[in-house]
Amino acid sequence: MIIPVLLAGGVGSRLWPVSRELFPKQCIRLTSTEHSLIQQTIERAQVAGLVEAPIVVCNDEHRFLIAQQLSDLNIKGDLILEPQGRNTAPAIALAAFQALQRNPDAVLVVLPADHVIQDQAAFGAVLQQALEQAQADKLVTFGVQPTYPETGYGYIEAAQPGQVSAVAAFREKPDAETAAGYVQSGRHYWNSGMFVFKASIYLDELKRHQPAIYSATEAAMAGEYNDLDFIRVDAEAFAKSPSDSIDYAIMEHTDRAVVVPYAGDWSDIGAWSALYDLSDKDSDGNVLQGDVLTHQASGNLIRAESRLVAAVGVNDLAIIETDDAVLVIPRERAQDVKEIVNQIKQDGRSEHQLHARVHRPWGAYKTINMGERHQVKRITVKPGEKLSVQMHHHRAEHWVVVSGTANVTIGDDTRMLSENESVYIPIGTVHALENPGKIPLELIEVQTGSYLGEDDIVRFTDRYGRS
């Protein structure tokens, strides 16, 4: 049994303002207008013949987003929630313990959920080589043939370059001079973060080299339980696990490490410059996404999500526009986006966490206008879904149905609202909202009161298990 394991716990802060803490890059359509990065990863695994239901390890706060991503593809899998981030070695251990419950001989194909590979044939061919090595009890990693001296990637040094080989060493992200030497040597590959091995062999090596990680993750999985469609582990036990990557924890110590060379296309889209390199360009070398106009501009990546963006006489920039933020940065300094994200955090702002459109398990809402004592939102409730039964201490709400049908409960009164009908919910009144129809429910919510924060919600019942 060969099981794809998707590591979906990252955030992708260097792709701000599109990627946010609560809407990470693996859920975003960056290189496709149809599918997000995690959906492309699932499809890539299927094309390569991996038909078993995947195991997905993700952040607890992303659980409903990830579940929706799989549901959109009609895919069912095991979604394991990390109580907190502990890096890749513990995350893969959780997946390995889960895989052994399916089959004691399970082979894992570990794939980061936010990478891009467009050459399916090349990926499939290398995967077959890796699977052969895994059946021989090797721990296999994919080494990407470098095409230029990249300083943002780690490197793998092969004992015998150009063929399936034992790993000589793993190298940290280098400076420019060292990276150039790695590429020139022909002995070094980019570290792809993709792995293939038997679940049992991985856990054996983990127990041998990192017993603290093994013990903590074993105890965490011993306390697993189901929460709706998710697998939760013992949070207290998992918190005792050291935080370490699979490279440092296992691959640098084991004598089973093997690297398979991969010469096809690959990118982790770690920054906006990487998306530029991947994308088709116009005659001026521009990558234009969305409603964009240019004049005497060249070499730019310009992405517009909510309005017209016009660029005149500028070159080699990344210009990224969203509802609530605009980033302008030289492409060559794309890695420095993290400095702005850090500043946003330090200033106590929220743009690093949320978009103007905020996703919830029942649908989404978008803030349209906000003042000192009022806030206006457009709320979308998916068919058959329901918000929690709740109340607010500091705000009243007025709902106006734009389209669809709303089943509204206010206190002891329940009524149906259709288009152009409205209702008022006083402060302190228990209420609920449900979409009983077959089409999305759209409504405008006007909040008024002394405090309008999202934490002014007292939930009494909630079908999604939120507190």
Q: Which helix (H) or strand (E) holds 238?
A: helix 235-239
Sign of CA dihedral 323, 329, 334, 337: negative
Other CB atoms within a 10 A radius of the CB of residue 132 amount to: 14
* 442 touches 435 (CB < 8 A): no
Which CATH fold would you assign to the domain 2-262?
Answer: Spore Coat Polysaccharide Biosynthesis Protein SpsA; Chain A (3.90.550)
pLDDT, mean of residues 199-210: 98
* 108 touches 3 (CB < 8 A): yes
Q: 332-361 pLDDT, tens per residue? A: 999 999 999 999 999 999 999 989 899 999
Domain ranges in the chain are: 2-262, 278-343, 357-461
pLDDT, mean of residues 48-64: 95
Q: How many CA within 13 A on the CB side of residue 239?
A: 4
Q: How does the average pLDDT of the chain come out, rounded?
A: 96
Q: 422-446 pLDDT, tens per residue? A: 999 999 999 999 999 999 999 999 9
Q: Identify the pLDDT of residue 255.
A: 95
Please list, in sequence order, all residues whose beta carbon lies within 8 angstroms of the beta carbon of residue 258, skipping any fewer than 6 positions away.
133, 138, 139, 140, 141, 164, 165, 166, 167
Q: Identify the pLDDT of residue 26.
A: 96
How far is the C-alpha of 143 from the C-alpha of 261, rounded, in Å?
Answer: 5
Kindly state the tokens that stand for 322: 């969203």
* 25 touches 11 (CB < 8 A): yes
Q: 144-186 pLDDT, tens per residue? A: 999 999 888 999 999 999 999 999 999 989 999 999 999 999 9
Q: Identify the pLDDT of residue 11.
A: 84
Residues 364, 370, 371: CA angle, nearest 5 degrees: 155
What backbone phi and psi angles, to 5 degrees, belong to 251? -65, -30
The partner residues of 346 in beta bridges, in order of sequence, read none
Q: Identify the pLDDT of residue 287.
A: 98
Number of H helices, E strands in the chain: 11, 28
First to last CA, the chain: 38
Q: Which helix (H) or strand (E) holds 143?
A: strand 139-144
Q: Identify the pLDDT of residue 444.
A: 98
Q: Is pTM, for the whole model, over 0.85?
A: yes
Q: 371-424 pLDDT, tens per residue? A: 999 999 999 999 999 999 999 999 999 999 999 999 999 999 999 999 999 999
Q: Report, in this order, helix, strand and coil percent for the chain, each rounded to 5.
A: 25, 35, 40
How far is the C-alpha of 334 from the C-alpha of 278, rounded, in Å?
Answer: 15
Which CATH fold would you assign to the domain 357-461?
Answer: Jelly Rolls (2.60.120)
How far is the C-alpha of 39 from the C-alpha of 47, rounded, in Å?
Answer: 12
How far is the C-alpha of 220 from the C-alpha of 234, rounded, in Å?
Answer: 4
Location of structure tokens 């402060």: 427
